Amino acid sequence: PQIKEFRAEVDIMSRMRHVNIVQFVGACTKAPNLAIVTEYLPKMSLYDVLRTEPLDWTRKLSVASQAAAGILYLHHRKPPVVHRDIKSDNFLIDLNYNVKVCDFGLARFRTNATHVATSHNRAGTPGWMAPEVLRGEKFDESSDLYSFGVVLWEMLTLEQPWRDVDPMQLPGIVGFQGRRLRLPPTAPPGW
């Protein structure tokens, strides 16, 4: 199964060509030396940048717009690609603050007839996962958009989502009780 999942990731990445998607260079597909080679983005992830550099609002809006453009590209492919693990760690940033979506290990193509669903529906990182994903239900592109909303919240607050909650409790409180992250009163209008 690991090699099959690896090859699925290589298949998806090799088809992507967009300024806001990390550029696939090549892959070593001979076990046990499985590896994917991509372009190098020296600033690391958005998660790291948010915690090490002050970003002004203009920069934050640019980063958010570029991240959204990458997700939009995935969702408008034929067939659409559902990333399934949208989080600040999966947006890489270069020296000019250009943003690229990365880590397609959980991504899947979606056909028009079905929602993306597997026996492992709870794919992703709990703090960023949509309620339907936390409940183990079928999900599609809208689940990626919920996760992107959590990234926007993270950019606004500079906090890790649900940091004081045990990840095992998130299916209950987010998936079934409907609790959501709160915006601080200092949030700019429209954010």
User: For the chain, which residues make up each domain, given as ranges?
Assistant: 41-176
DSSP, collapsed to helix, strand or coil, labels residue 180 as coil
Q: Please enumerate in sequence order all residues whose Cβ is within 8 A of that of 141, keeping only pairs 6 or more positions apart, or say none.
A: 75, 80, 82, 110
Rounded CA-CA distance 41/46 in Å is 11
* Burial call 29-55: b when 16+ CB within 10 Å, e when fewer: eeeeebebebeebebebbbebbeeeeb
Alpha carbon distance 113, 104 (integer Å): 22
pLDDT at 112 over 60: no
What is the pLDDT, as a whole number, of residue 185?
A: 86
Residue 113: is its pLDDT beyond 50? Answer: no
Residues annotated as catalytic are 85
Task: Name the token pair of 173.
Answer: 């409180």
Pair of tokens at residue 159: 């906090």
Residue 12 parent element (H or E): helix 2-15
Distance, C-alpha 93 to centroid of its chain: 14
Instruction: Identify the DSSP state of 173.
Output: I
pLDDT at 114 over 50: no
Give the chain's radius of gyration (CA, Å).
17
Residue with tokens 């994917």: 36
- Determine the average pLDDT of the residues in 34-57: 93
Q: Is the pLDDT of residue 119 over 60?
A: no
**Structure confidence by residue, pLDDT tens digits, 164-180:** 999 999 999 999 999 99
Residue 121 confidence (pLDDT): 47
Kindly state the average pLDDT of the residues 44-62. Answer: 94
Indicate the SS3 state at residue 54: coil
Average pLDDT over residues 34-56: 93
The string of pLDDT tens digits covering residues 15-31 is 999 999 999 999 998 88
Q: Can you give the pTM of this predicted structure?
A: 0.90
CATH homologous superfamily for the domain 41-176: Transferase(Phosphotransferase) domain 1 (1.10.510.10)
